[in-house]
Amino acid sequence: MTPENVEAFFATLKAANPQPVTELEYSSVFELLVAVLLSAQATDVSVNKATRRLFVVANTPRKMLALGLDKLERYIKTIGLYHSKARYLLQTCQILLDQHGGEVPRSREALQALPGVGRKTANVILNAAFGEPTMAVDTHVFRVANRTGLAPGKTPLEVEQALLKHIPPAYLVDAHHWLILLGRYVCQARQPQCWHCAVRANCDFQHKTLASEPPS
């Protein structure tokens, strides 16, 4: 994808959705951290259903610890891998209290030191909570980056680095939200819905598809 295509690609996405946000529901940085931890291998819809009930009774590290493992598991048992996620959450809450005054840290190193928090989760927190121009590469972003030609790569880290290099600075803060939404609802894994994709004119996949079609 040429620099001109990249500029047009993101200008189009911005025009359609000027202020994109995560579809996870939260009202504090701690709630966002909990929601992102729970969202691994789970849908945002399923996480939101669980956290709507959970956050009423436990929306701080101290309250989460007071809830205890058994009760926490009851609130999140509809989410995949809930046993391990519950343990990670409680361990994280203890670290937040012991090392960070009960607050979610703002550095990547401190975030990734929390149980269950990898690079992608840290990027989400840094971006959505603190406005950092990070790129959280989930399965949707990875697929869109490779399929469109925006930032091809064999690993999430390769794609992340390529996206940070190729996306114009003016779009970086919101870019991962646009790419997630594009992959979730339009550029889907099994059948990309190119016929109603707003950025198809700037997509390498669309150009290759048209070029491979036999003349009528």
Read out DSSP for 92-107? HHHHHHHHHTTSPPSS
Torsion-angle region of residue 116: left (phi > 0), alpha (psi -120 to 50) or beta?
left
Give the C-alpha separation, 81 to 71, whole Å: 16
**Is 163 in contact with 137 (CB distance < 8 Å)?**
yes
Is 204 one of the annotated active-site residues of the chain? no
Is 70 one of the annotated active-site residues of the chain? no
Name the catalytic one among 120, 154, 165, 174.
120
CB within 8 Å of 166: residues ≥ 6 apart: 1, 3, 6, 150, 151
Name the catalytic one among 71, 77, 138, 165.
138
Catalytic residues: 120, 138
